[in-house]
Structure 1
Amino acid sequence: MKKRMLFSSLALVAFLVGCGDSSAPAQNETSTSTNETETSNGTETTNGADSVSLNLVTIGTGGASGPYNILGTTLADIYSTDFSINSRTQTTGASVENINLMEQGKIEMSFVMSDALSQALAGEVSFKEPVKNISQVATLYPNVVQIIAKEGSGINTIEDLKGKRVAVGDQNSGVEVNARTLLAGHGITYDDLQVDYLGYAEAADGLNAGTIDAAFLTSGLPNASVLELSETVGITLVSIDPANVEKIAAEHPYFVSYEVPVGTYGNDEPIKTAAVPNALVVRSDMDENDVYLLTKKFFESQDKLVNSHQAAKEIPALDAQSGFIAPVHPGAQKYFDEQK
């Protein structure tokens, strides 16, 4: 009898201990889950729908002094902070190089000009075959064609460039692509010029030193290199007749007429020129939820982008889906559908 009572007591103790052991891990798991949520910048990033699955988002930009690089750096900082990922920029020769890097899977996102994007999709000019792995998430601010010469040079219109030494941008950059198109639309070829392939900073140095006569610096306004020149050596903004822009746009519809506002570079009157809208693009093979979150964060961060460069002021004023050149990414489409 005593043996049976002892056995029953031992069994009861074992049962109670077993129950206590089985409940401990459940309490620890709950605690761990709570900690993960609390350490994610106040958002539930452990929920797959609210977090970016990528560990790295590299944004292709352009020259170091241009708006692409300034805005891209700001955007990368926002992504890194808000999504707890490694986001960074890659300084490049801009549009054409960015598109090629995306096609090669080396970057996830980039700023490009619509003319280069159009040519990439068609497999024309700088692209031997159509680029397929690229989708658009937004139409951005206009990239303004700024043709500059030293003050007193006698170069006032695009026709005056004939016979001059002209910087047309980095070879195969978006700047160079639209420079070539605009020149051709005025009956001017590279054979009529002495061409130098120079980026923003190098072109500004060349004008300052007198080694070139004029330069194409196509970007958002203001361009830091042009602004510095206007304050140091004095410049002339070369004009482009709107009627000629309209004729060129008949074949290249991404071109629009544009006026550089008074006072942008100390100019006393608006300067007529051309502009090409910029585009923000991603690889088509990126996850839909990732692109949705990246697009959403981009549009929700306009104040920070404007603080980094005033060209971003024109982004909210545009219908984000107007003028799309490339197919919209499904993730971006999801964001746009939510805004309706």
Structure 2
Amino acid sequence: MRRIVAAVSSLLVAGALLAACAPDSDPWEGRQPERLTIATGGTSGIYHGYGQAFASQLADEYGIEVEVLSTGGSVDNLQLLADGTADLAFSAADAVADAVDGEGGFAEPVEVRALARVYDDFAHLVVPADSEVEEIADLRGLRVSVGAPRSGTSLIAGRVLEAADVPIADLRVAELGITESIDALEDGRLDAVFWSGGLRTPGIVGLAEELPVRLIPLVDVVDELRAEYGHGYRHGVVPEGVYGMTEDVETLAVPNVLVVSPDMPEGVAHGLVQTLFDTRSEISVLVPSAALLDRSRAIYTEPAELQAGALRYYQDVKP
């Protein structure tokens, strides 16, 4: 009898341990939303592809109706979040810092919370392979897209040019999104394109198949930008082979974060983060940058604080 009792007790203990280790049966904690809106970016960029893939997983797994907004990029996304048009948004960390501080493109501070650091952007200065441009200073007098207004690209392009002591007035400026910029470069209506995005940005991959391109190194401005702005700016490398390039290119990198408004219910934030990780493999088939999502790095979302529901998720899954 004692053996039977001991065996039953062992089974009960094992069952309790398994239940404690098992994923939450309801990641939404009773707060599953019926619909959500995600602010992304231009249709040729990674934000948009990531948003679409994540939306598909939310719809397939939970039947949530998700609207994916094509936008100008980070600054635009944060404003859409602030005015309630979007429920969650992709943004580069430098734009989040401006929003939190009420600087740059923001007339007043915008309060946001983060779900995860998702992947890093790399600053691209794209020119045709046969271009005579070798450094930032060579852009003077040329037709250059500095990104769509209120985009993360526009923010970084302005800072890069300032750090390189190249006044934007010295350029023949076009303010175009990534799709329009690629079309104009391919058609010969532009000489160079600034872009801040993940590797490999689909639109530039497609462009390189039609028009051989090069990236201009931006390494000379990185330390100055780190000293001036911080916000995660670091040295980055676009590896040989990306976009058909024959050598590594040193450039500027900045983290991307997925952000929400501070009044999002904790259960919704918890469900979003769990779904983001649970479906990472499926999403990365369509968006390779999604494979970079990592629990050990996702918590570093400065300057935005982690949303309480997101923080609880990371605490629950901590080894």
Q: Name the residue aligned to 1:192.
A: 170
The Cα shift of 1:122 comes to 0.6
Residue of structure 2 aligned with 1:130, choices 109, 114, 130 = 109
TM-score when normalising by structure 2: 0.88
Residues 149-179 of structure 1, C-alpha deviations (whole Å, 9 max, x = no match): 1121111222221221110110111110111
Per the alignment, in what secondary structure is the counterpart of residue 152 of structure 1?
Answer: coil
In 2, Cα distance between the equivalents of 1:330 and 1:120?
A: 20
Residues 236-277 of structure 1, C-alpha deviations (whole Å, 9 max, x = no match): 211112x43012111121211111111011111101111111
Per the alignment, in what secondary structure is the counterpart of residue 262 of structure 2?
Answer: coil
The alignment covers a number of residue pairs equal to: 294
Q: Name the residue aligned to 2:58.
A: 79
Alignment of 1:213-252 (within 5 A): 213-241=191-219, 243-252=220-229
The Cα shift of 1:317 comes to 7.7
Residue of structure 1 aligned with 2:35, choices 33, 47, 56 = 56
Q: Which protein shows a greater Rg?
A: 1
* Paired residues of 1:256 and 1:274 also in contact (CA < 8 A): yes
Aligned-pair Cα RMSD in Å:
1.7
In 1, Cα distance between the equivalents of 2:317 and 2:32?
A: 24
Residue of structure 2 aligned with 1:329, choices 296, 301, 307 = 307
Q: Name the residue aligned to 1:21.
A: none
Indicate the structure whose relative CO is greater, using CA pairs within 8 Å and at least 6 residues apart: 2
Counterpart residue identity of residue 91, structure 1: S
Shift in alpha-carbon separation, 1:291–1:268, aligned structure 2, 3 A: same
Q: Name the residue aligned to 2:13.
A: none
Alignment of 1:27-176 (within 5 A): 50-132=29-111, 134-176=112-154
The Cα shift of 1:94 comes to 1.3
Shift in alpha-carbon separation, 1:140–1:266, aligned structure 2, 3 A: same
In 2, Cα distance between the equivalents of 1:53 and 1:304?
A: 21
In 1, Cα distance between the equivalents of 2:205 and 2:28?
A: 44
Structure 1: which 5+ runs fail to align?
Answer: 1-42
Identity of aligned residues (%): 30
Counterpart residue identity of residue 178, structure 1: I
The Cα shift of 1:189 comes to 2.2
Per the alignment, in what secondary structure is the counterpart of residue 191 of structure 1?
Answer: helix
The Cα shift of 1:221 comes to 0.9
Per the alignment, in what secondary structure is the counterpart of residue 218 of structure 1?
Answer: strand
Residue of structure 2 aligned with 1:179, choices 133, 157, 168 = 157
Counterpart residue identity of residue 159, structure 1: A
Does residue 302 in structure 1 map to residue 265 in structure 2?
no
Residues 180-220 of structure 1, C-alpha deviations (whole Å, 9 max, x = no match): 11111111221121110011111111111111110012111
In 2, Cα distance between the equivalents of 1:206 and 1:287?
A: 43
In 2, Cα distance between the equivalents of 1:111 and 1:180?
A: 20
TM-score when normalising by structure 1: 0.83
In 1, Cα distance between the equivalents of 2:211 and 2:268?
A: 47
* Paired residues of 2:160 and 2:221 also in contact (CA < 8 A): no
